[in-house]
Structure 1
Amino acid sequence: MTITIKDVAKLANVAPSTVSRVIANNPRISKATAQKVKKAMEQLGYHPNLNARNLASQSTQTIGLVMPSSGDVVFQNPFFPTVLQGISEGAHEKQYAMHITTGKTDKEILDAVTRMVQGKSVDGVILLNSKVEDQVISYLKGREFPFVLIGKPYKDVEEITHVDNDNFRAMKEATEYLIQHGHSQIAFIGGSLELTVTVERLLGFERALRNAKIPLKNEYIIHEEFLREGGQEAVRELMSLEERPTALVVADDFMALGVLNMLDELGIKVPEDISIVSFNNVLLAEMSKPPLTSVDINIFDLGYQASKSLIQMIENSKEPTKRIIIAHKLVERLSCAEPIK
């Protein structure tokens, strides 16, 4: 026998329209009534027909996720599973599904996003990174389609809802931590300068050196992919210099793992010969040898708040533009020491 909304309403002693409102997460329904209806649904084994509900409301009840163009970064770097977990948690709370898209090139990604939007397969979009020149942002803005950015927009900051850390401040503090340990020969290993996060962190690094009156050396600034191999390449380059750095700030823990591997190959000890501060504070930072001092940027919360903000925009077209800054903190471990005199 098929269970209907009327059966649920009868058991919960409410009107069928109240059951419909509970299914639609209507905020006007009290928590007590919602709990009573959900209990009746569970008792009867009733599952709402979301397809019918979505057709009636012209909603897909789905959010689109736009992944970076480099497949290697997405599938290897622990940042992405963690941020996706946060997004998923926020979506699940509101019974939204997720539709993930990516591509090998920026054009492929833009084409995929265009198909999502024009095909009406999603109600809104979350972008997982911010580029200096971002065609996807321009397209979504032009279409006035709901979207949230994880990261700081390079331009139109006040017009785009985004969830981010204060990357300038976080990198400045990480660099100052090394300066306080007595280091003045500090190198920066970051991602692509096409990414806003790299630009922000590089500016924070430069400010910390300038404040300490430490000269900035261009040969100490290296840009690579957020991959273990990227960290290895950066170390090869830095360790071939006549005047090697005594400390490194690395923009990503996964890159830092490559840094540690290469330093070990070269017989350079951490922290005795060189100190390292990294970013993201994923599990491998704690498990590496030695355990890495790393800036915890609360990756899960970045995803959760992005998901929550997007759904608010979808369900209320008058939702104001927001800038949500997620707190960071430096987690001290065993990868830093004073330089050898």
Structure 2
Amino acid sequence: MSVTIKDVAKKAGVSPSTVSRVLSNNTRISRETSQKVRDVMEELGYHPNIMAKSLVSRTTETICVILPKPAEELFLNLFFMELIRGIVTQANRSGYDVLISSGGSEQEEVDAVSRLLKGKRVDGAILLYSRKDDQVVEFLKKNQFPFVLIGRSEKYPDILSVDNDNVQAAYDATKHLISLGHERIGFVSGPPNHIVSRDRLKGYMNALEEAGLEMRRDWIVEGEFLQESGYRAMSFFMNLPERPTALVVMDDFVSLGVLRGLHELGYKVPEDLCIVSFNNLSIAELASPPVSSMDIGIYNLGYTASQALIQSIQHDGDKHLQKRHIIPHRLVIRESSVYTPPKES
């Protein structure tokens, strides 16, 4: 015979309604009582009927993460693995499951979100990217579905979002290279339709302008967050009549491609080119040489996004909840940007 809520309540010495509140993570229940009830559940082998619970509460206690392109491509970059680790950790602590969905295009992403939310399979969504004129954001806003954006929206600055101050972070990275005496500084950017790419480009340009340094368009290369983008950028940069002596790179994974390209061309880091990258993944420290990188708190980005979304769901979009969360950044300096006098090309 299966164990019921009444059995758990009797064994724990509480009312059945208290057990129900523990199952729904009601904040009115003390941590001690909640733990006591959960210990009894485990002892008796009680498992709640999720389908029945969803019908009563009209919630699924599941959130979805929408990947902005095919998952097999994204998972090549450890940034997304760390981001999702933060999301899943916080969701599990709040009693929520995480469903991951992806699409090969924006329209496919919209279709995926529509199936999940209109089909009442999830309670809300986390978007891992902010893009200009994003169709997914438009769909979620129009249908008033709970969601959180990792990044920022130019069109809807009031939506729930978690981000870094990417303008300031890129400014700080560029200023570090300027402090080493570099005057010819290039920029390896990400996709131009991504807000983070535009914000970091702005920070880079602000630092150059403040220092009275030239900003040249041929020292800026756009690409994807893939090694291949960094590799291709080196073929371009190192063949310029006047090449940069230092680079700000959008992503650690891209910086690996930069290092590979430089090695094949016979150049050394930092002697021939200094590098500062972003994200401070483990691969930055393990690279040869270790790469200086801006730590943007990837895990905290995911954790805070999950927390903010679940709070919004549980409080039914309370207007008094904080809408914009900014995660601090810090530069971790390694061998790729130690002082070396800029060489003449």
TM-score, normalising length: structure 1: 0.97
Deviation at 1:160, TM superposition (A): 0.5
Q: What is the CA distance between 1:12 and its match in structure 2?
A: 1.1
Aligned mates of 2:67, 2:145 — CA distance in 1: 18
Paired with 1:32 and 1:72, the residues of 2 have a C-alpha distance of 43
The answer to whether 1:149 aligns with 2:149 is yes
Unaligned runs of 5+ residues in structure 2 are none
> Residues 62, 9 of structure 1: CA spacing in aligned structure 2 closer, same or farther, 3 A cutoff?
same
Q: CA deviation at 1:235?
A: 0.9
Equivalent pair of 2:67/2:128 in contact (CA under 8 Å):
yes
Structure 2 match to 1:324: 325
Q: Counterpart of 1:290? A: 289
Q: What's 1:40 paired with?
A: 40
What count of residue pairs does the alignment treat as equivalent? 340
Query: Relative to structure 2, which stretch is displaced further, 229-238 or 313-322?
Result: 313-322
| Partner residue, 1:177 | 176
Pairwise mapping of residues 82-93 of structure 1 onto structure 2 (< 5 A)? 82-93=82-93
Whole-angstrom distance in 1 between the partners of 2:46 and 2:118:
33
Q: Distance in 2 between matches of 1:318 and 1:95?
A: 19
Q: Corresponding residue for 1:31?
A: 31
Q: Which amino acid aligns with 2:116?
A: M
Provide the C-alpha distance between the structure 1 equivalents of 2:159 and 2:55, rounded to a whole number of angstroms: 29
Cα distance in structure 2, aligned partners of 1:78 and 1:271: 24
Q: Which amino acid aligns with 1:50?
A: I
Measure, in 2, the Cα distance between the counterparts of 1:286 and 1:254.
Answer: 12
**1: CA distance between counterparts of 2:34 and 2:70?**
44
SS in 2 for 1:187: strand
Helix, strand or coil at the partner of 1:36: helix
Question: In the TM superposition, what is the alpha-carbon distance from 1:251 to its structure 2 partner?
Answer: 0.5
Mapped contact 1:19–1:37 kept (Cα < 8 A): yes
Q: How does 1:144-293 map to 2 (within 5 A)?
A: 144-157=144-157, 159-293=158-292
CA contact (8 A) 1:164 1:325 kept: yes
1:124 aligns with 2:124: yes
- The unaligned stretches of length 5 or more in structure 1 are none
Q: AA paired with 2:84?
A: L
Instruction: Decide whether the 8 Å contact of 1:273 with 1:339 is kept in 2.
Output: no
Q: 1:70, CA displacement in angstroms?
A: 5.0
Question: How far, CA to CA, are the matches of 1:24 and 1:70 in structure 2?
Answer: 34
> C-alpha separation between the residues in 2 aligned to 1:234 and 1:72?
23
1:115-159: CA deviation from partner (whole Å, max 9, x where unpaired): 2222221110100000011011011011111000001112221x2
CA drift of 1:284 comes to 0.3
RMSD (CA atoms):
1.2
- 1:200 & 1:111 partners in 2: Cα distance? 29
> Does 2:330 align with 1:333?
no
> Which shows bigger deviation, 142-151 or 11-20?
11-20
Report the counterpart of residue 21 of structure 1 in structure 2: 21
Identity rate, percent: 49
- Residue 38 (structure 2) pairs with residue 4 (structure 1): no
For the 8 Å contact 2:181–2:342, the answer to whether it is kept is no
Once residues 289 and 73 of structure 1 are traced to their aligned partners in structure 2, the CA distance between those partners, rounded to angstroms, is 24
Spell out, residue by residue over 1:32-83, the C-alpha distance to the aligned partner (whole angstroms, 9 max, x if none). Answer: 2212212222222222222211111111211111111255541211111110
Task: Tell me, yes or no, if the aligned pair for 1:126 and 1:149 is still in contact at 8 Å.
Answer: yes
| Separation in 2, partners of 1:324, 1:299 | 13
* Greater mean alpha carbon deviation, residues 35-44 or residues 245-254: 35-44
Instruction: Tell me, yes or no, if structure 1 residue 68 matches structure 2 residue 68.
Output: yes
